[in-house]
A and B are shown apart, each in its own frame.
Chain A
């Protein structure tokens, strides 16, 4: 099994550009989420989804959009990139339920100039 696959692994953008970070999982997990990791701040939840067609905001949703048209895919969109969005982004998935461990992708390292 591939698990959780994130693409691209690295990306450099200019301020104002848009892009989509891709996330796919092959474990038939209902729950998927996006986090950003910044030094000294741990991981902060951006958006999450409890199933296809259902999304909700996390702790730091501003500047990001998501959609969930299939169980497998959960893309994260930056509509107008800002330097403050320079970070490492992780996608995770799990079976539904509050005690299920989350499976993480390897991350996308995003720099915005």
Chain B
């Protein structure tokens, strides 16, 4: 069975600092991988997705993530945090062997950006 683990339920960084949000997956076959962001009282928005092309994926708002098969990881990074990046971030996986499109989500990481 697939699963997703996000290390750290809360991450706090200073404005201008590097953002690193960690995601590890468990799957017998490397899955499709997604990062979503949720701003307060809103639904989830897609930041980026990995579907087996380049292992370094660039998303919106300056975020990127790197797929590392050997580490079963898909960590999200941004070189310089902005106050507007404060939100909850979710990593999710979708199976390559099933065409149902079901997503399995991690527990979420709340990003706090301090001035």
Contacts and interface: CB of A to CB of B under 8 A. Distances in A.
Contacts of B83: none
Interface stretch (A13-21, A64-72, A100-108): A100-108
B49 A99 contact: yes
* Dominant secondary structure of chain B at its interface with chain A: loop
Q: Which of A42, A44, A90 has the most CB of B within 10 A?
A: A42
A98 B32 contact: yes
Nearest to B93: A98
Nearest to A93: B101
Given A98-B32, A99-B49, A99-B94, A48 B43 contact: no
**Interface size, B (range):** 20 to 34
Contacts of A44: 105
Interface residues of A, number: 28
Contacts of B34: 101
B30 interface: no
